[in-house]
Amino acid sequence: MATYKLVLIRCGDSTWNLENHFSSWYDANLILVGHEEAKRGGQALRDASYEFDICFPSREESDQTLWTVLDAIDQMWLPVLRTWCLKEWHYEGLTGLNKAETAAKHGEAQVKIWRRSYDVPPPPMEPNHLFYSNNSKNCRYADLTEDQLSSSESLKEIVPQIKEGKWVLTAAHGNSLWGIVKHLEGLSEEAIMEVNLPTGIRIVYELEKNLKPIKPMQFLGDEATVHKAMEAVAAQGKAKK
């Protein structure tokens, strides 16, 4: 049986994570904690003797996360293919809002649906939105249509590399990784809404020839650290007590 390897990295904590904002497609920089998360994750990959063939990041935080990881595993020479298809779910009108304040206003259940659902769009981003020009006038997205500007995750760039037997390292964002996990494991929309993917923890998949997981995702890290990181993600969309 052919076995393929796919390692997913959720980018480390950024300035907007620290402030608990909906990031959407806004490019925020990693904070010190985020760099340390990426470094620890890289050390875990190095200790497990992982050697990769190609990498896929999406935007600023994932670029910074990826370079920190590659430095830790001494593989900065690897080819890097950037793709907007791995960018985070576009939060539209929620972009820049504080998640806890939004939960207090609209309810935690509604915020959870906006964060994890695949059939309930967030409120639209109007032209007068503070961050509207961040996407519409960004030269990096000049070739994209309006429909593409509101799209989220895609595996189409990664699959050919995996099927060639390459070890693929993917650095992306919470919602794009939720989409990949949902697809790989065949989870229902209700089930994926309960999955918390921690920052700074490497997610490892072993896949069979049809790219179905041989076993559920594995977290590369000690159990206590993984659990703590997952709790932190779950708390982001809750109203402050």
CATH code of the domain covering residue 15: 3.40.50.1240
119, two tokens: 């059939």
Q: What is the pLDDT of residues 148-201, one digit of tens each?
A: 554 444 556 678 888 888 889 988 777 778 878 888 888 887 888 788 888 878
| Confidence class for position 69, pLDDT limits 50, 70, 90 | very high
Establish if 79 belongs to a structural domain.
yes
More confident: 39 or 84 = 39
Q: What is the amino acid identity at position 203?
A: I
The pLDDT of residue 136 is above 60: no
Whether 174 and 86 have beta carbons less than 8 Å apart is answered as no
Interval 22-42 mean pLDDT: 81
Establish if 241 belongs to a structural domain.
no
The pLDDT score that the predictor gives to residue 78 is 94
90, two tokens: 């576009």
Q: How many other C-beta atoms can be found within 10 angstroms of the C-beta atom of residue 142?
A: 8
CA gap 155, 157 in Å, rounded: 6
Establish if 59 belongs to a structural domain.
yes
Nearest to 152 by CA among 185, 190, 178, 130: 178
Question: How many domains, the chain?
Answer: 1
Whether 42 and 71 have beta carbons less than 8 Å apart is answered as yes
Strand-pair category, 4-10 with 202-207 = antiparallel
Which residues span the domain enclosing 214?
A: 4-235
Q: How many other C-beta atoms can be found within 10 angstroms of the C-beta atom of residue 58?
A: 23
Establish if 99 belongs to a structural domain.
yes
Write out the E strands in 33-111: 54-56
CA gap 90, 226 in Å, rounded: 27
- Known binding site: residues? 10-17, 88-91, 99, 115-116, 174-175
- Known binding site for substrate: residues? 10-17, 88-91, 99, 115-116, 174-175
CA gap 80, 56 in Å, rounded: 6
The pLDDT score that the predictor gives to residue 151 is 41
Nearest to 176 by CA among 65, 25, 60, 63: 25
The residues with which 169 forms a beta bridge, in sequence order, are: 7, 55
Stated pTM of the model? 0.73
**Dmax over Cα atoms in the chain, in whole Å?**
54
Interval 203-229 mean pLDDT: 87
Establish if 194 belongs to a structural domain.
yes
Write out the E strands in 120-228: 168-172, 202-207, 218-220
